[in-house]
Amino acid sequence: MCANADISNALQVHHLQNSQLTDQYLFISDLHLCATRTHITRAFLEFLQHIATQAKALFILGDLFEYWAGDDDVEDVFHQDIIQAFCSLASAGVPVYLIHGNRDFLIGQAFCTQAHITLLEDPTIVELHAERVLLSHGDALCTDDLAYQSFRNQVRDIAWQEKFLNLPLSERKQKIEAIRSQSEHEKSQKNAMIMDVNQEALNTLLRETHYPTMLIHGHTHRPKQHTIQLDGYSITRWVLGDWYEQGSYLILTQDGVKSKLL
Ligand code: LP5
Ligand code: MN
């Protein structure tokens, strides 16, 4: 596997012993893991121990956690359990790649090093089974949601993040929980249409990335396979499901893509 370097960082998957036995790439997003959502945590740990160990690589396309307040929170017991599970997967020879979501964009290198995870830019193109696959969380494509995009611009600013990360962890968590409440309130007032991907933003991205064979993203929690006809190209857009009620994942093999529920 190799990456298209146009908009992505260079990515080289190491083909380790175990992963040569399989041709399965797995994709998940929007797990929103937290200590209180025990059934989903259990499902995820089982997924890592069984299904993921059979994979050539696992791609997590954002919102792994309900929220991430900074890498100094790695010591938290719940986070340590998750990190340990990733370490076991790494020992089994399965590489794990992560794209930030809007809930966990503060995940940094310290967490990734501990968990043996490689962070990817949003968006990134990877070449898998000779297909050019564009990966993204998906929130950047929801351009009709002006309030969210303005919030996003603010919190993705590096200087803003440095300042925020200098606050004590407990204060950061309080602030995030306040924003979470405000976000839930605002979402209940927003038209569902504006919280979906904007077609023009999507077309622009597909043109900029030279018409990948497929796009896989999460965020909207509207799992579906879409076929896009653009400038004479046919592109499949796969939207991943969330893990609120039930775990779900996408599996890409030599034979194509399948959507699976746990
Ligand atoms: O995540 P989801 O799907 O529920 O909702 C998103 C958008 N909401 C968010 C907010 C996150 O849920 C909050 C957690 C972020 C943790 C990051 C840590 C660092 C930030 C700390 C900030 C103090 O992403 C929601 C979208 C929805 O997706 C669908 O796309 O609509 O967007 C909103 O609801 C945002 C509101 O419309 C605007 C919020 C304005 C808040 C203004 C506060 C200003 C002060 C903040 C400092 C920058
Ligand atoms: Mn999201």
Distances (CA, A) of 243 to 38, 57, 181, 212: 12, 20, 20, 27
Radius of gyration of the chain (CA): 18
Q: Treating both helix axes as pointing N-terminal to C-terminal, what angle do 38-49 and 77-91 enclose, rounded to 10 degrees?
A: 20
Q: Is the CB of 9 under 6 A from ligand 1?
A: no
The candidate with the shortest Cα–Cα distance to 3, out of 128, 171, 138, is 128
Phi, psi of 55 (to 5 degrees): -95, 160
Residue 17 has pLDDT above 70, yes or no: no
Cα 140 to middle of ligand 2, angstroms: 10
Residue 143 has pLDDT above 80, yes or no: yes
Q: Is the CB of 29 under 6 A from ligand 1?
A: no
Q: Which ligand is nearest to the CA of 187?
A: 1
pLDDT digits (tens, 9 = 90+) for 104-114: 999 999 999 99
Q: How many C-beta atoms surround the C-beta of residue 105 within 10 A? A: 20
The CATH class, in words, for 21-261 is: alpha beta
Question: In whole angstroms, what is the distance from residue 110 CA to residue 51 CA?
Answer: 26
**Any idea where the domains of the chain sit in the sequence?**
21-261
pLDDT digits (tens, 9 = 90+) for 44-97: 999 999 999 999 999 999 999 999 999 999 999 999 999 999 999 999 999 999
- In this prediction, residue 21 carries a pLDDT of 65
The candidate with the shortest Cα–Cα distance to 139, out of 176, 183, 108, is 183
| Token pair listed for 204 | 């622009």
Instruction: Give the nearest ligand 1 atom to 147 CA.
Output: 37
> Ligand 1 test: best mutation among 33, 34, 66, 148, most atoms within 8 Å of CB?
148
Q: Is the CB of 194 under 6 A from ligand 1?
A: no
Q: Which ligand is nearest to the CA of 142?
A: 1
Question: In whole angstroms, what is the distance from residue 229 CA to residue 235 CA?
Answer: 6
Q: Is the CB of 81 under 6 A from ligand 1?
A: no
Residue 5 has pLDDT above 50, yes or no: no
Q: Does a cis peptide bond (omega within 30 degrees of 0) precede residue 123?
A: yes
Task: For residues 23-33, give the mean pLDDT.
Answer: 97
- In this prediction, residue 22 carries a pLDDT of 84
The candidate with the shortest Cα–Cα distance to 115, out of 89, 76, 77, is 89
Write down the pTM of the prediction.
Answer: 0.94
Cα 70 to middle of ligand 1, angstroms: 16
Cα 39 to middle of ligand 2, angstroms: 20
